[in-house]
Structure 1
Amino acid sequence: MLKKIKLIFNSKLIFRFIFTLFIIFIFILGRSIQIPFLNVQIQTIIQLLKGLTTSDKFLINFDLNNFNLLSLSIYPYITISIFIQLVQKFIPHLKEWREQGEVGKQKLNRLTRFLAILLAMFQSYLMINKYSGNKESGGEIFIGEKLYISFFLATGTAIAIWLSDLITAKGVGNGTSILIMVGMSSGVITTFQKIFAFWNTDKIKFFALLFFLLFILISTIIVYLATLKIPIIYPNKKSQVENYIPLKINVPGVLPIILTSTMQAFFMFCINNIPFFNQLKCKDKIIEFISISTNLGIIFFVCLIIFFSFLTAFLIVNTNDIAEHLSKQDAYIENCRPGKQTVEKISYDFFRITIIGVFFMIFLFVLPLLISKGFDFKEFKIGGTGFLIIVGVSIETLQQISSTANKEDYAKIF
């Protein structure tokens, strides 16, 4: 234990840690930089954007309570990264890049960054354009002003991507994940402030909410670390160390909920903004079916989570590739022949643990809603997925710190 602590407190690792904190400080500072040279009319539109409805969030995907340079943050980059990850197995050109190693990875990164900035421009322009025609905003604004705001916000996204790359290259942890966690910190702080406010007014509610939060946190840590180990045998190698295939219970992470939220918000946007739906007599029923605030909407949301959980899990983990890799390494699973039987064995085990992961994702989604309704606690600003992100980033960062420390210690030997 003392040796590990000594390894962590070496000069290079301390520099990485301080550098990460410095970049986080720059990121927070950037969130206080307001858009300059805005006239009264545009400022009115911004106030309208602050009251953005759920149906518009698929376009904007960020909190506009503080309209600033980094309002879009790194979210367009995350959206495009997820999209590229899902489609690269179906587009031959992208699949070819993925198989080119480091060179192909650089090509995919450049494409992702370019599309992320375009998406940032599109998101901001579409929302400004929509609300500029609102009567409360004072009428239409010039296209140049719309492009100016869109360019400013897209520049903020480019800066956020650059800052995340700096953290990944010279700091500690994954830059993108850390910036997401920093962006969520305000919601976490607000939630805990509201919970501790019950200490003086309602101690039963205080302890109940604190218990549920700790329960979500502990269960998230357990499920995040839980792994199914499938033993493998190397007939030509004699080793006392057990070899196995590690399959995580929750391989997709929060990806299914992100995709589900985006699709649900997209449906809501279409229904509220496309004239065709205004002519339908069943419009209210459709809204009730897909609105997250209704029981039917929650059931619809859960069904989408189940669908995207299995879809993304089997896109991320290719059981055929695992079986092929075992065959090349002259390894096999006990009581399984190489080839089809191995694929079926891995697929069956992976399907079983994915079911557990799906139920856990539903639990993370539903429990905060039940807490919010049951305790009449609308200030619950962080859901179970937020805990999953925070726990995941924290564990991965600690693992990277440990890995970097061991690497530095190993380098000293030579």
Structure 2
Amino acid sequence: MAHFDYKRIPKVPELRKRLIFTVAMLAVYRIGVYISIPGMNRDAMKAYLGSQDTGVGGFLNMFNFLAGGALEQLSIFALGIMPYITASIILQVAGVLVPALERLKKEGDAGRKRINQLTRYGTLLLAVVQGTALARGLNALTGQDNVVTSTGAGSIALIVLTLTAGTAFLMWLGEEITAKGVGNGISLLIMAGIVAGLPAAIRDTLRMAFSDASTFGPVDLLILVAIMAAIVAAIVYVERAQRRLPVQYARRAVGGGMVTSQNSHLPLKVNTSGVIPPIFASSLMMFPGMVSGYFGPEFQEAVQTFLAPGKMGYLVIYSAMIIFFAFFYTDIMFNPVDMSDNLKKWGGFIPGVRPGEPTAKYIGWVLKRITTGGAVYLTVVCLVPYWVTGAFQGVNFYFGGTGLLIVVGVSLDLVTQIQSHLISANYDQFSLDNERPRLRARLEEGEPQT
């Protein structure tokens, strides 16, 4: 990563405004987490989750982790941003299978706006479905009768309306951050929820390490810190890793003169999909447990037992989803045919590979190879929490690979975007500095301004 003077950030007005807007919107999100839903008992929910295993911890603890602690608070944001992510997955998969949606994707900005609109409608529909399942099944899910204090039709409708409105607000918040702030708004909301829980997780782990009643001691704490450091180093290394395909540009005539041939490269990231696969996979893994309450308590218990985090069924399906979304998202982001056509259009070629279709096949082959490595890396990192909690009983979710991957990956993306703004500001300043002498000279010569 190139070095940049980050002390210049306050001196760049556009970047400063974007950062302030991003921080303000994240603050609004965190404040909303502590606004409880009417008709629900927050203290009973906190007591239930506090009595559960803080490691793998079951369905509700995992859901609370991904919702940034909003479920524990029985907040208006208790569903989190997961309905929006699930709707996005459905629309993206449908865009490959449904010809009408595939045509929309090719219509440019108009088609993209239409797909975004459909995603919002799908988010609201899923929020209603999941909110109803949560309101109706939370007492049975926790084995208590005082979490949802009023189970009348009017109270359930109010809870569902509140949860749906909270999800819609988070969806709007994420889109506003993406448009007017810095970074991907949805990813930043998820990261903010995880980071907000880190202080409490660190406190509990330190207390457990130095407690005589715990089997987790200081030596185990040092081993855990070493594992976390190794995971962070691996994430940073792989997220920055690239496969650079050499590209040569032939000599061509420009402005009546000849431009010499140039050597360049085509950078292909090892993990092109970033943190999208684990976020998508986690969202989909939560969905069956949420809606299974519609089919009775026995079916709900069976589904949640089978898909309990750490169980073999959960691990196999979760790993398969991560691998699938790693390839799927890479195919969406990169089209080898388009890349080959662009190279041919600008007179570029890969040495030893004929332009056109052979180049497209070669780029596709390279993408599949590096995506395989990226998918294996994502799967291993995301399975680490279950190995860690198996080795160190009681260790919190926050020290697992999924949380660290999201935090580190989103942070790297945020730094990259800040760097882009700084480069743009430097370029604008450089252009202005070059224009000023010419303007001054024209004014001294008495030329009229244009």
In 2, the alpha carbon distance for the partners of 1:130 and 1:288 equals 15
In 2, the alpha carbon distance for the partners of 1:21 and 1:240 equals 46
Match for 2:84 among 65, 77, 83?
Answer: 77
Deviation at 1:217, TM superposition (A): 0.7
Deviation at 1:191, TM superposition (A): 3.2
Name the stretch that deviates more: 265-274 or 222-231: 265-274
Mapping of 1:291-330 within 5 angstroms? 291-295=308-312, 298-299=315-316, 301-330=318-347
**Structure 1 residues 343 and 289: alpha-carbon distance in aligned structure 2, compared to 1, 3 A threshold:** farther
Q: What SS does structure 2 have at the residue aligned with 1:229?
A: strand
Q: Normalising by structure 2, report the TM-score.
A: 0.77
Deviation at 1:212, TM superposition (A): 0.5
1:88 is aligned to: 95
Instruction: Tell me, yes or no, if the aligned pair for 2:36 and 2:42 is still in contact at 8 Å.
Output: no
Name the stretch that deviates more: 193-202 or 78-87: 193-202
Instruction: Provide Cα deviations, 1:74-116, integer angstroms capped at 9, x if missing partner.
Output: 2222222232223223322322222222222222222222221
2:439 is aligned to: none
**Structure 1 residues 35 and 295: alpha-carbon distance in aligned structure 2, compared to 1, 3 A threshold:** closer
In 1, the alpha carbon distance for the partners of 2:121 and 2:407 equals 28
Match for 2:19 among 17, 20, 24?
Answer: 17
Deviation at 1:211, TM superposition (A): 0.5
2:245 is aligned to: 230
1:359 correspondence with 2:366: no
In 2, the alpha carbon distance for the partners of 1:171 and 1:301 equals 32
Amino acid at match of 2:341: E
**Structure 1 residues 103 and 310: alpha-carbon distance in aligned structure 2, compared to 1, 3 A threshold:** closer
1:115 is aligned to: 122
1:106 is aligned to: 113
Instruction: Provide Cα deviations, 1:181-225, integer angstroms capped at 9, x if missing partner.
Output: 111123333332234336645321121111111111110011111
Amino acid at match of 1:10: K
Instruction: Tell me, yes or no, if the aligned pair for 1:256 and 1:305 is still in contact at 8 Å.
Output: yes
1:54 correspondence with 2:92: no
Q: Which runs of 5+ in 1 are unaligned?
A: none
1:336 correspondence with 2:346: no
1:34 is aligned to: 36
1:159 is aligned to: 169
Work out the percentage of aligned pairs sharing the same amino acid.
27
Q: What SS does structure 2 have at the residue aligned with 1:150?
A: helix
Give the structure with higher Rg (CA). 2
Q: Normalising by structure 1, report the TM-score.
A: 0.83
Instruction: Tell me, yes or no, if the aligned pair for 1:20 and 1:172 is still in contact at 8 Å.
Output: yes
Instruction: Provide Cα deviations, 1:149-206, integer angstroms capped at 9, x if missing partner.
Output: 1111111122222222332233222222211111112333333223433664532112
2:159 is aligned to: 149
Amino acid at match of 2:36: Q
2:396 is aligned to: 379
In 1, the alpha carbon distance for the partners of 2:150 and 2:19 equals 48
Q: What SS does structure 1 have at the residue aligned with 2:96?
A: coil
1:179 correspondence with 2:189: yes
Deviation at 1:372, TM superposition (A): 1.2
1:249 is aligned to: 270
Instruction: Tell me, yes or no, if the aligned pair for 1:76 and 1:116 is still in contact at 8 Å.
Output: yes
Q: What SS does structure 2 have at the residue aligned with 1:243?
A: strand
Q: What SS does structure 2 have at the residue aligned with 1:172?
A: coil
Deviation at 1:230, TM superposition (A): 0.9
Instruction: Provide Cα deviations, 1:362-390, integer angstroms capped at 9, x if missing partner.
Output: 21122221111112233233421222221
In 2, the alpha carbon distance for the partners of 1:196 and 1:335 equals 58
In 2, the alpha carbon distance for the partners of 1:380 and 1:174 equals 23
Match for 1:393 among 410, 413, 422?
Answer: 410
Q: Which runs of 5+ in 2 are unaligned?
A: 50-56, 212-216, 253-258, 433-450
Instruction: Tell me, yes or no, if the aligned pair for 1:35 and 1:68 is still in contact at 8 Å.
Output: yes
Name the stretch that deviates more: 239-248 or 352-361: 239-248
Amino acid at match of 1:244: H
